[in-house]
A and B are shown apart, each in its own frame.
Chain A
Amino acid sequence: MRTDRLTLLLLILPGAGFIFLFLAAAIAMTVLQSVGLYSLVGESKLTFEHWFSLADRTFVDSFLFSLKVGVGSAFGTLVFSYPLALFLRRRRYGTQLIGSIIKIPLFVPALVAAFLILNVLAFHGILNSTLLGLGIIDRPLRMLNDKFGWNVLIIQIWKNLPFQLLILAATLESIQTDIEDAARNLGASPWRVIRHIILPLSAPGILIAVVLVFILTFGDYAITKVAGPVYPSSLSVLMYTEAFTLQQWGSAACIGVVITFASLLFVAIYARAARAVAEIGQ
């Protein structure tokens, strides 16, 4: 159906125009302030000093920490979500129930998820009590605000597992079963079917699931602030501190640009993978 351009524009404008306007405003402000323009306090002039000021230990440590949390959450979740998605793929009795239970954390707000897991991992929390009671450890383990960020990883995995599962389930569903059946008829073992048929065909879906969780965790503020180590902080926490505690909006803007462009890069990867999934589905 062809529609004339003006009608089309009028239809698209309310939703997409709104998003474009506000996103453009936010991103433009980030980029401009990172080079010293439009700084609402103090003088505005084009300068790259904020960018040079980034080259210090704190920024590098935060960048590495965010990278670690992003990659760790993405693959840490995948370790659980992919086998689960494979298991839930064939309707057996019980799969429906498992499917419903596993979805719950999807609807638990991030901050609540952080609190819930903190409770479990606390020094006197249920995990330590159980391990002590079973005699596995003789002293409670310190798991909160640890330097590595284990608890941040566990919170993110808890929160993102159903999210990845949903994406993977949709991908696995789009793989036609006749290829798999043919392989089984020709005598392939279940393991070989998974390795040589399902895994390659679901690769773009896996990529999407991994990339999306990476993007969502790489730029996280709230969970890292609440549960993460005091040092290093995540990039978003560092950005917030620079802006509101140190009043260094220029440096904060530079960090903002770094986070945004890293995310955009991964959005591009995701978009290509999504196109590949659509092609497999057809």
Chain B
Amino acid sequence: MTDMALAIPPPHIRRRIGLKGFLVGLSVALLLVWTAVPLFMAVMWSLVNPDDPWSPPAVLPPSFSLAQWEYVFTFSEIGKAIVTSFVLAPVVTILSFILSLPTAYAIGRLSFRGKEALRLLILLPIVLPAMVIAMFLSRTFYAFGLAQTFLGLVLGHTLLSMPYMLRILATAFEAIPQDVIDAARNLGAGRLELVRHILVPMVLPGLMAGSVFTFITSLEEFNLTFVIGTPTFQTIPTVLFDYLGYHFVRTNAAVVSIVLMVPSIALLLIAERYLKTEYLSSAFGKL
């Protein structure tokens, strides 16, 4: 009984919590409508039964079926596109990591002139208009026989997604306190031990976050794949674009949207504990 009595706040505090609680509740509800309703609608559209169409006054489809999924996987390039996307993304992530590691180390740990300019340079692929880069890189690629090749796609995707790896890794290197390194040195740690026991464990979360962002950027990349890869190579986004543009069929587009979206969201949920705010803000444009 005493516990209960303590748990109920005096009236004036209770009223404030009430008002604040109401406001918080209202914003949660609004945000849920804002973000979740569009996602929910896509799932519904992908499950529409073609023999029992979903027409305006009904809030939900009258019956569900997987017919749309069967149709898309039977009659579109989605199967091949999924394979291409999921071969491309890991290759791009690994290449980005190999290229980024030394540069990220230099930016994070060394002091040199022109570092600010360098930071700006490695931001450019994210902020420059992707369609311009895609179209005119493709002209250069034509000259070197790289257009419509898998290698061309790998190089192009690496250009557009490596900045995330580079910037997040650099932030991770930067965050290691010099004291820790000095202390380890004073205690007689050699180079190898320093790398194994300090650098690797302290940079690993950054590497995970960087890899997730690089992987997802490659998975979602549209402009460059569209110009340099299609029609030889289709990825999930180019298939979706096709369904949204020339052959707009809402139910099919819903299926492809879910195919494209689920891996990204799943990856981010799995990797969530690595996605510290500092990494997120360094990935998205903190200089």
A: residues with CB less than 8 A from B are 1, 3, 8, 10-16, 18-20, 22-23, 25-27, 29-30, 33, 38, 40, 87, 92-95, 97-98, 101-102, 104-105, 107-112, 114-120, 122, 124-126, 128-129, 158, 163, 166-167, 169-170, 173, 208, 212, 215-216, 218-222, 225-226, 236, 239-240, 243, 249, 252-253, 256, 259-260, 263-264, 267, 270-271, 274-275, 277-278
Q: Whole-angstrom distance between the alpha carbons of A25 and B136 in the complex?
A: 8
Q: Is the interface of A mostly helix, strand, loop or mixed?
A: helix
Knowing A98-B24, A116-B41, A219-B132, say if A26 contacts B137 (CB, 8 Å): yes
CB distance from A188 to the nearest CB of B (A): 20
Q: Does B159 have its Cβ within 8 Å of any Cβ on chain A?
A: yes
Contact of B132 among A93, A215, A260 (CB under 8 A): A260
Does B287 contact A19, Cβ atoms closer than 8 Å?
A: no
Does B56 contact A124, Cβ atoms closer than 8 Å?
A: yes
Q: Whole-angstrom distance between the alpha carbons of A274 and B219 in the complex?
A: 29
Q: Is the interface of B mostly helix, strand, loop or mixed?
A: helix
Q: Whole-angstrom distance between the alpha carbons of A62 and B273 in the complex?
A: 43
- Report B-chain residues with C-beta under 8 Å of the C-beta of A274: 285-287
Contact of A226 among B21, B139, B241, B264 (CB under 8 A): B241
Pairs A–B under 8 Å by Cβ, sample size 15: A12-B102, A15-B99, A19-B121, A22-B137, A23-B159, A26-B137, A29-B139, A104-B36, A104-B39, A108-B39, A112-B261, A116-B42, A119-B254, A256-B132, A267-B123
- Report A-chain residues with C-beta under 8 Å of the C-beta of B240: 111-112, 115
Contact of A212 among B55, B116, B135, B285 (CB under 8 A): B285
Contact of A112 among B130, B166, B260 (CB under 8 A): B260
Does B277 contact A169, Cβ atoms closer than 8 Å?
A: yes
CB distance from A142 to the nearest CB of B (A): 14
Which B residue sits closest to A116, measured CB to CB?
B38
Does B277 contact A18, Cβ atoms closer than 8 Å?
A: no
Q: Whole-angstrom distance between the alpha carbons of A173 and B222 in the complex?
A: 34
Q: Which of B65-73, B86-94, B106-114 contacts A (4 or more CB under 8 A)?
A: B106-114
Which B residue sits closest to A266, measured CB to CB?
B127
Does A278 contact B287, Cβ atoms closer than 8 Å?
A: yes
Knowing A119-B42, A267-B120, say if A30 contacts B132 (CB, 8 Å): yes
Does B103 contact A14, Cβ atoms closer than 8 Å?
A: yes
Does A102 contact B287, Cβ atoms closer than 8 Å?
A: no
Q: Which of B45, B98, B220 has the most CB of A within 10 A?
A: B220
Instruction: Provide the B122-150 mask, 1 if CB < 8 A to any CB of A, else 0.
Output: 11110111111101110110110000000
Question: Residues of B within 8 Å of A, CB-based: how many?
Answer: 89
Q: Whole-angstrom distance between the alpha carbons of A115 and B38 in the complex?
A: 9
Contact of A40 among B112, B139, B280, B281 (CB under 8 A): B139
Q: Whole-angstrom distance between the alpha carbons of A129 and B28 in the complex?
A: 23
Does B38 contact A117, Cβ atoms closer than 8 Å?
A: yes
Q: Whole-angstrom distance between the alpha carbons of A166 and B20 in the complex?
A: 23
- Report A-chain residues with C-beta under 8 Å of the C-beta of B142: 40
Q: Whole-angstrom distance between the alpha carbons of A223 and B121 in the complex?
A: 26
Which B residue sits closest to A119, measured CB to CB?
B41
- Report B-chain residues with C-beta under 8 Å of the C-beta of A33: 136, 139
Which A residue sits closest to B265, measured CB to CB?
A107
Does A1 contact B110, Cβ atoms closer than 8 Å?
A: yes
Q: Whole-angstrom distance between the alpha carbons of A12 and B129 in the complex?
A: 25
Q: Does B171 have its Cβ within 8 Å of any Cβ on chain A?
A: no
Contact of B35 among A38, A101, A263, A271 (CB under 8 A): A101
Q: Whole-angstrom distance between the alpha carbons of A158 and B41 in the complex?
A: 15
Does B24 contact A110, Cβ atoms closer than 8 Å?
A: no
